[in-house]
């Protein structure tokens, strides 16, 4: 660290009962090139009152007539936290007490007959305190930026949702009014009507907007589930039909094995988001092979299993794919934001459930979701 300028003021709070000892320490600091603004206190009450002001550093003796240095340290940490440097300057107090002070949050210990160490110790602690302050301000700035981003996502999603919902309703009405022969004449190259394609893309846009809303709620701690009685079997069936409808041809075969009914207390809209995410991934990474979906009852729980027979996931990637913006494949070859599994895990854990994956490269992946039937 560069030598301090003689114009640099240093605000020092002394916890010291001896005026002569305090002057010795002051002299050492002045020799280091600092201007000195100081105050000396001797009791816990005086220290507590003095801490209402701003100080750059606290220098404390250990043995005082009315209280000890470790009590002074506790008062400083409770009042100012870990950012105000606290250096003990005392006679020999024993290694055990010195170690206890350092473990308790003191920044350094200087023996009174070796005051040459004091100024380098002060400079080091001031630098470290500045780094901590800058780091804290940077973290606070990032936190605020994230809050602003999430607020923007929430507002933008709500603003987008209104016209898209209106567009979707108008398209559905238009489709019902068009005669069947007109729809057939307005067909695209793959045999599907153009209006069906517009509807499919609008549904997809609606899903993306809803996902943005959910992501902003999760990151801001506002994701709330609203459980009500729901049957998972038709929910899973509807999710399969929805994903296949939005999948370009050729569509993979989806084999569903499920009971006729499986009723429990869930937030059906959130759970459908999870099922759609898992099925979408199975289609995307399943290499066109059949997809097996199993829904079964396990006592007070239910288990949903989605298995593909595609590219699989390497063992090192299986944990991180549930993190935000993480993926096990190149984003150049596969689309998406890397948020589907992260959002699914948040929803499942909000239901007090669990999700895990078993996979081998080249042998497909099996995602298993367990949910309690009653919240």
Residue 261, pLDDT above cutoff 90: yes
The reported pLDDT for the residue numbered 58 is: 94
Check residue 221 and give its pLDDT.
64
Quote the pLDDT of residue 103.
84
The Cα 71–Cα 50 span in angstroms is 15
Q: What is the pLDDT of residue 282?
A: 94
Is 171 part of a structural domain of the chain? no
CA 265 – CA 263 distance, rounded (Å):
7
Span 272-286, pLDDT tens digits: 989 999 999 999 999
Residue 73 domain-assigned (yes or no): yes
Residue 297 has pLDDT above 60, yes or no: yes
Residue 31 phi, psi (nearest 5): -65, -25
pLDDT reported for residue 9: 86
Q: What number is the average pLDDT over the span 291-304?
A: 95
190 SS3 class: coil
- Please report whether residue 198 resides in a domain: no
Pair 232, 372 in one domain: yes
Q: Residue 101: is it exposed, middle or buried by C-beta count within 10 angstroms (0-12/13-18/19+)? A: buried
**Is the domain of 108 the same as that of 253?**
no
**Is the model's pLDDT at 331 over the cut of 70?**
no
User: 372: cis peptide before it, omega within 30°?
Assistant: no
Q: Are strands 263-266 and 228-231 parallel, antiparallel or unpaired?
A: antiparallel
Number of domains in the chain: 2
Question: Is residue 101 one of the residues assigned to a domain?
Answer: yes
Give the mean pLDDT of the chain. 82
Question: What whole-number percentage of the chain has pLDDT above 90?
Answer: 40
Residue where one domain finishes, among candidates 136, 167, 189: 136
Sequence-separated (6 or more) residues with CB below 8 Å from residue 370 = 298, 301, 302, 303, 353, 354, 355
Question: 40: phi > 0 → left, psi -120 to 50 → alpha, else beta; which?
Answer: beta
Instruction: Note whether residue 192 is domain-resident.
Output: no
One domain for residues 231 and 127: no
DSSP reduced 3-state for 341: helix
Is residue 97 in some structural domain?
Answer: yes
Q: Per-residue confidence at 145, pLDDT binned at 50, 70, 90?
A: confident
Residues 294, 257: contact at Cβ < 8 Å?
Answer: yes
Most confident of 185-194, 200-209, 246-255, 304-313: 304-313
Domain that holds residue 73: 9-136
- Give the pLDDT confidence of 67-119 residue by residue, as tens digits: 888 899 999 999 988 889 999 988 867 777 878 888 888 988 888 888 888 99
In a domain, 149, yes or no: no
| 165 domain residue, yes or no | no
Q: Is 290's pLDDT higher than 50? A: yes
Whose CA is closest to 323, among 306, 345, 305?
Answer: 345
């Amino acid at each position: 660290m560069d030598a301090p300028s003689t114009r640099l003021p240093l605000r020092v709070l002394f916890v010291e009962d001896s005026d002569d000892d305090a002057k010795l320490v002051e002299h050492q600091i002045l020799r280091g090139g600092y201007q000195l603004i100081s105050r000396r206190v001797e009791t816990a009450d005086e220290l507590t009152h003095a801490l209402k002001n701003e100080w750059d550093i606290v220098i404390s003796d250990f043995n005082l007539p009315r209280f000890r240095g470790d009590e002074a340290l506790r008062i400083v940490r409770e009042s100012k936290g870990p950012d105000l440097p606290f250096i003990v300057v005392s006679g020999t107090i024993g290694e055990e007490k010195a170690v206890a002070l350092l473990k308790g949050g003191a920044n350094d210990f200087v023996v009174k007959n070796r005051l040459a160490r004091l100024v380098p110790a002060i400079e080091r602690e001031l630098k470290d305190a500045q780094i901590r302050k800058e780091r804290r301000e940077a973290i606070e700035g990032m936190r605020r930026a994230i809050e602003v981003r999430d607020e923007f996502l929430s507002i933008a999603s709500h603003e987008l949702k209104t016209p898209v919902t209106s567009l979707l309703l108008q398209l559905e009405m238009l489709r019902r009014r068009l005669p069947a022969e007109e729809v057939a004449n307005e067909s695209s190259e793959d045999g599907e009507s153009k209006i069906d394609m517009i509807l499919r893309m609008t549904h997809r846009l609606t899903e993306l907007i809803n996902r943005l809303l959910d992501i902003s709620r999760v990151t801001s701690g506002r994701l709330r589930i609203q459980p009500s009685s729901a049957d998972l079997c038709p929910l899973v069936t509807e999710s399969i039909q929805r994903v296949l409808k939005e999948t370009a041809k050729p569509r993979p075969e989806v084999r569903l094995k499920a009971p006729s009914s499986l009723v429990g207390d869930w937030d059906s809209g959130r759970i459908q988001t999870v099922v759609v995410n898992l099925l979408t991934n199975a289609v995307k990474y399943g290499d066109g092979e059949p997809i097996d979906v199993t829904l079964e009852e396990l006592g007070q729980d239910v288990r949903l299993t989605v298995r593909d027979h595609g590219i699989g996931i390497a063992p090192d990637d299986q944990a991180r794919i549930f993190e935000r913006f993480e993926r096990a494949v190149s984003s150049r070859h596969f689309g998406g934001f890397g948020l589907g599994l992260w959002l699914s895990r948040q929803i499942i854990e909000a239901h007090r459930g669990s999700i895990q994956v078993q996979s081998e490269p080249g042998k497909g992946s099996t995602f298993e979701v367990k949910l309690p039937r009653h919240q």
